[in-house]
Amino acid sequence: MYQQKAPQLWVSHSKIGDFLKCPRSYFLKYEYRDPHNGNKIALASPHLSLGIAVHEVLESLTKLKSEERFNSSLIDKYEIEWSKYTGELGGFTSETEENEFKERGMAMIKRVMDHPGPLLNKALKITSPDEFPPRYLFSAEHNIFLSGKIDWIEYLPENDSMHIIDFKTGKHDEDEESLQLSIYCLLVKNLKKRNIDKVSYWYIERENEPREMPLPNLEEAYTKVLDMALKIKEMKLKRTYICERNGCFACMPLEAVLQGKCKFIGIKGYQNVYVSPPHD
């Protein structure tokens, strides 16, 4: 008898994180479509703009040979990236607020220029055949794909292995229960076919070098990610996108978009981008 294939599901670190914060937030970010043009919705925010601008500058270094990466000032590159998110395009409510965030990012870029560390070494890239993030078939049985974009993969020639580095631009440490590095290890292991010897977070606002973390157990990581993916799949099938707190920090800002309380500032890719109104 013919058995219908399970509906396809893509999961990533960010999707799992948003699901854990609030199922309603997950729905509004990834499932809801604007009835006027079919686009997703997104909110511009200072923290997001800061993170994107810094990450874009650092990611651009992977396209250069290691000996050329710091031949020109990264500050100039940062200025160009920042210009894409100035004013309300970046979710800023005042010039003062924007300047504060811009200076924070500038300090991060200067820290990396002064302490490049592993960024001076050969880097590997995981590429995608299309405009979507790199991914692989995580579970054929459940038709689940695992996807993700890794900030930096340092090549370790002494044993032909890799060092995964994730840049952090926030002020707080990543949660100890985070699956981020586990997911990145699964991606790299399946897409690069090399061993992983090191994994690190680099808190570039306050630390001069990456902070090495324990290597995840890939069998345990697979089980944990699959468990979360199946919970998301069940939620999607049942369409139970409910905020358990009847409105929380994660879903309420996006609910404000649906309620017409946010200002539309433009279309970026497949997203309608809005900005929240200034607080009184």
Query: In the structure encoding, which two tokens stand for residue 261, read together?
Result: 């309380």
- CA dihedral of 38, 242, 29, 250, whole degrees rounded to 10: 140
Strand order from edge to edge, sheet including 144-147? 9-11, 144-147, 135-139
Averaged pLDDT score across all residues of the chain = 94
* pTM beyond 0.85: yes
Return the sign of the alpha-carbon dihedral for residues 92, 97, 102, 107: negative
pLDDT one-digit tens code per residue, 147-193? 999 999 999 999 999 999 999 999 999 998 999 999 999 999 999 98
pLDDT one-digit tens code per residue, 90-126? 999 999 999 999 999 999 999 999 999 999 999 999 9
Among 11, 24, 16, 17, which Cα is nearest to 257's? Answer: 24
Band (278; pLDDT cuts 50, 70, 90): low
